[in-house]
Structure formats: structure tokens, C-alpha cells
């Protein structure tokens, strides 16, 4: 089966499909089965070798990182897993080699958590499912003069800089990857995205450009300082 489900970006709002825009072929359940080892391919020896080298770390709640795989070693189990999202969709792939059990979870919403907690819970019932409900955000109108003071470039690391511009009555963020994200005001300094669960809070004072922007996602916050420029970046 090779079908495409409409991606949801918010209540009553569909995400625009990336199909036919130079995006690689989408993954299907049968293709992901090959990565779990259910279908033998020429890549199987390489896939098995990816777990032999490990270091402390990995994405939450993992405690180890292998070659691209997160590894959660707990409760007498070692679960290898990986997630990914693009174009309004998100996928989870995980397996317990000792139990010969694997899980594939596909969602048509590009949220911060996706189905990671559900996939991990199916592999180990001791891992809880996140039942928290995201807080609703309410858009308000903010004067263009305030939005202009927030426009600019903010650096989170030497290789991670975002560009914020004003587009009409809201802000547009261009990530270092080229991906674009619309931001809407819920306060004069607080903004949220409708397509994914991301919020940005600007450090700003009256009549001066913002000094920094804090990016909040998946329970974590990262502060990016403003890159000094002579004039704010504003789109028509």
C-alpha cells in the first residue's frame, strides 16, 4: 500500500503537502520494516554494526547514543530507536533485539513528541505515555513598530542562526536549514507557531531592538543572542 494521509498542522487546518517539491520519496510501513530486520536486505550487516559503538547521551529519555540510533538501557532492556519529521509528518522506529520485537509508528502531525512515547511504551510498558495537553495559544494584534524591533538574526551556536522578518501582521522565521516557520503574537514579546509546538520569547525593551530570542520546544529552552546589524530585517 502506498497512500498519503493529509497532515494536520492545527485544529481544522491541513498542512500543505511537500509532494512533488523535490522531496525524496516518502517512507512506507513496508520500507521501515527493512530497518527493523523483518525484511532482509544487503544493508543488514551495516545496520547491525551501527549499535556496536556507543557513547553516553542520546535524545531523551535515552542514556546512550550509537551510530545514529538512540539507545535506552533500563529495566533489563536495551531499546534502540530513532525518530524523524518533515513536511508535516513524523515517524518513530524502535526495537528490542533481545525480545525480537519492533515498533513502527507514523503520525500525520509534526508535533514535538510525535509518537515517541507511544512507541517506547509498546516496547517497555514501564515507560510512561505523555498524557499532557498542550496549552492553547491565543493570537493577538501587535503594532508593526513592535514587530520591526524583533526582526533580525539570532545565533544559537556557530552553525545555528535564525533570521526573523516581519511579514504583514506576524513574524517569519527562516532556520539555518532554509525551512520557514510563521510566528504569531500572544504578547508583545511572546510568539507561537501554529504548524509545530514551538514558542519564542524575545528579550526586548521599549524603542530598542530585541537583544535575544529564547526558543522553547519539547520542554527545553535555548537562548540565541542577536547578531548586531545596522538595520532590522523587514519584509514588505
| Burial status of residue 179 (CB atoms within 10 A of its CB: 0-12, 13-18, 19 or more) | exposed
What percent of the chain has a predicted confidence (pLDDT) above 70? 79
pLDDT for residue 88:
74
Domain boundaries, the chain: 8-123, 144-227
**Taking the model in full, what pTM does it have?**
0.60
Task: State the pairing for strand pair 180-185/190-192.
Answer: antiparallel
**What is the spatial distance between Cα 88 and Cα 224, in angstroms, rounded to a whole number?**
25
Q: Of the ranges 14-28, 94-108, 109-123, which one carries the lowest mean pLDDT score?
A: 14-28
Domain 144-227 has CATH 2.40.128: yes
Task: State the pairing for strand pair 160-167/170-174.
Answer: antiparallel
pLDDT reading at 235 higher than 50: no
pLDDT for residue 231:
43
Give the model confidence (pLDDT) of 127-167 as tens digits.
999 887 777 899 999 999 999 999 999 999 998 999 999 99
Mean pLDDT in residue range 167-179: 92
pLDDT reading at 29 higher than 90: no
Question: Among residues 115, 114, 87, 88, which one has the least CA distance to residue 103?
Answer: 115
pLDDT for residue 41:
78
Mean pLDDT in residue range 28-49: 72
**What is the spatial distance between Cα 200 and Cα 173, in angstroms, rounded to a whole number?**
10
Give the model confidence (pLDDT) of 42-60 as tens digits.
877 887 888 888 999 888 8
End-to-end CA distance of the chain: 45
DSSP string covering 128-196: PP----PPP-------HHHHHHH-EEEEEETTEEEEEEEETTEEEEE-TTS-EEEEEESSSSEEE-SSS
pLDDT for residue 125:
93
Residues 6+ apart with CB under 8 A from 113: 130, 218
pLDDT for residue 36:
62
pLDDT for residue 179:
86
pLDDT confidence tier of residue 225, bands split at 50, 70 and 90: very high
pLDDT reading at 236 higher than 70: no
Average pLDDT, the chain: 83
| Burial status of residue 79 (CB atoms within 10 A of its CB: 0-12, 13-18, 19 or more) | buried
Amino acid at each position: 500500500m502506498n497512500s498519503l494521509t493529509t497532515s494536520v498542522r492545527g485544529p481544522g487546518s491541513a498542512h500543505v503537502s511537500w509532494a512533488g517539491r523535490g522531496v525524496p520519496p516518502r517512507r512506507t510501513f513496508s520500507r521501515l520494516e527493512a530497518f527493523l530486520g523483518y525484511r532482509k536486505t544487503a544493508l543488514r550487516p551495516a545496520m547491525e554494526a551501527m549499535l556496536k559503538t556507543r557513547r553516553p547521551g542520546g535524545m531523551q529519555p535515552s542514556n546512550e547514543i550509537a551510530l545514529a540510533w538512540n539507545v535506552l538501557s533500563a529495566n533489563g532492556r536495551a531499546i534502540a530507536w530513532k525518530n524523524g519529521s518533515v513536511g508535516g509528518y513524523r515517524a518513530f522506529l524502535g526495537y528490542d533485539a533481545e525480545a525480537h520485537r519492533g515498533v513502527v509508528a507514523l503520525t500525520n502531525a509534526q508535533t514535538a513528541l510525535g509518537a515517541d512515547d507511544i512507541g517506547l511504551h509498546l516496547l517497555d510498558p514501564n515507560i510512561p505515555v505523555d498524557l499532557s495537553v498542550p496549552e492553547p495559544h491565543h493570537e493577538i494584534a501587535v503594532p508593526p513598530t513592535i514587530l520591526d524591533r524583533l526582526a533580525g538574526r539570532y545565533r544559537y551556536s556557530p552553525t545555528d542562526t535564525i533570521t526573523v522578518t516581519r511579514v504583514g501582521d506576524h513574524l517569519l522565521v527562516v532556520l539555518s536549514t532554509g525551512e520557514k516557520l510563521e510566528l504569531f503574537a500572544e504578547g508583545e514579546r511572546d510568539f507561537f507557531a501554529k504548524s509545530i509546538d514551538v514558542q519564542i520569547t524575545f528579550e526586548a525593551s521599549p524603542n530598542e531592538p530585541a537583544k535575544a530570542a529564547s526558543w522553547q520546544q519539547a520542554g527545553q529552552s535555548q537562548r540565541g543572542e542577536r547578531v548586531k546589524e545596522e538595520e532590522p530585517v523587514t519584509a514588505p
